[in-house]
Structure 1
Amino acid sequence: MSGRHPTGAVGTVGTVTRGTTNPNRLRRMDRWIAATLARELRGAADPLAVDLGYGAAPWTAVELLGRLRRVRPQAEVVGVEIDPARVAAALPYTRDGLAFLHGGFELPLPGGRRPLLIRAANVLRQYDEAEVAGVWAALRGRLAPGGLLVEGTCDEIGRRHVWVALGPEGPRSVTFATRLGSLDRPSDLAERLPKALIHRNVPGEPVHAFLTAFDRAWATAAPLSALGARQRWIRAVGDLRGQGWPVLDGPARWRQGEVTVAWTSVAPAG
């Protein structure tokens, strides 16, 4: 994080991202969040979410609000961007439950509000790996009790996505999600690993071992291809669980082209 202030604005922490965004780019992440955080959303006194670094257009914040409100009609979303021009461009989309603010990792929320969710998608790829832990810690420190930080990376149209989920105490899980028809093998997702893992996909590292095991399970499940990629994926993930990998979700999520594993099973070695 290094206290960067590239825009010259006092108090903002971070650097301007490329800003690339497309409608529905984050749909896989959003649907997972809505399902995973549903109980907390329904019970929260202040069901506030932050879309951090939403980019050059506000589509992802608008879509996040819609998806969360299917779970909790009173949900609110604040889009936070470090580029003042992007904030100005987003302001016409402001409406009940949706606001846009200039800021960075310091999260300048009015009234000291603490969000139940912070989503930071495609924000940290330009940072050094050594900076990730500091950013995570700063953002986790802003969460409400029971809150969740979701940080990850996807391709330009959201076909392939990998994200880390963190609670106030630290990282909990990693989710691999894909449009199954676009996949040759699970390790294709390696190019979308978040910054904390992208440089760790090498022999001797746990994430490399996981993707290698996933590729083997995928190859073993090849006979199910006649029934479709979904059935092949479900079998491969089931085989991973059978091998002892700590898969945290079940077939209902696997059918979506997802698998979530405990962070400790893929965290960087050393």
Structure 2
Amino acid sequence: MTLAVLGGLVAPSPTAPAQTTIYNNFGPGHEGWDYNWGLGWTVAGPDVPNQYGVEQAFRFTPSEGGVVSDIWVAMWYVPLDQLPDEVTVRLPADPDGGPPNPENVLEDWVITEFESWDHWSPPHHLAGSGRSRLEAGKSYWLWAVGGQTTRCGWCMNVDPRVLLPHTLRREGENWLPIANETASAVRIDVGGVTCDAVRKARFTCRSGKLKMKVKLKTDEFDGQTLTIDYETGSTRLVVSGRTARGKVKRLSGPRLVRLTAPSCPQFDTRVDCG
């Protein structure tokens, strides 16, 4: 399942009570979201001169299991041209200790908006679909692949002594041997609401006002967040007890409203905002 990262950059938010951070190498600066914006591993497309489609991948092994709720990565683009940049971040399982394999991908996300490489900016937030479960003690990859004209960097963490198993490859070549190297900035959280926990979702829109109401089967997700997509944007609802409510104003025309985190296509609703 591929999820678009709407709006490109999403400011980090505090971890909700029922979520667990299973990996985090962001530094304490910038309210716990610091990284080395001056140095990054190249992620580039095949149409970029002298780069030849560079892909990067880091392996991690969670000590606790759970459903992926949120991932944050820090990336910038190199402003040397006006060509579009796009990075697909993939999450494959690693059943055999080898390099990333597309057959093992659990979920992926597409990032299309980036800040320049000359300053710190909020990391990209990748909202989990609620369908990718990680098991404690088993290994997984985070794998970054550039689009055709992409010229980006996956920023390193602030401490070069923080390492992860790493590999890279260029277009048409094999993966390089896996070795411990300075890890790019990443945080991975598990927990959050799963699709199985959603009892009902109701979306209506009248006179430009979209109303959203989601009911859960239990109150164990109190304080968690849900993501609702309405084509021209998205919003997050906070669960209170068993219910999450919200509204968006100044919308117009027909649109598809979807519960995207967790990803529950059975609740997709077409509305007309007038």
TM-score bucket of the superposed structures, by smaller chain: under 0.3
User: What's the TM-score once normalised by structure 1's chain length?
Assistant: 0.27
Greater per-residue helix proportion: 1
Higher strand share: 2
TM-score when scaled to structure 2? 0.27
Larger Rg: 2
Higher relative contact order (CA 8 A, sep 6+): 2
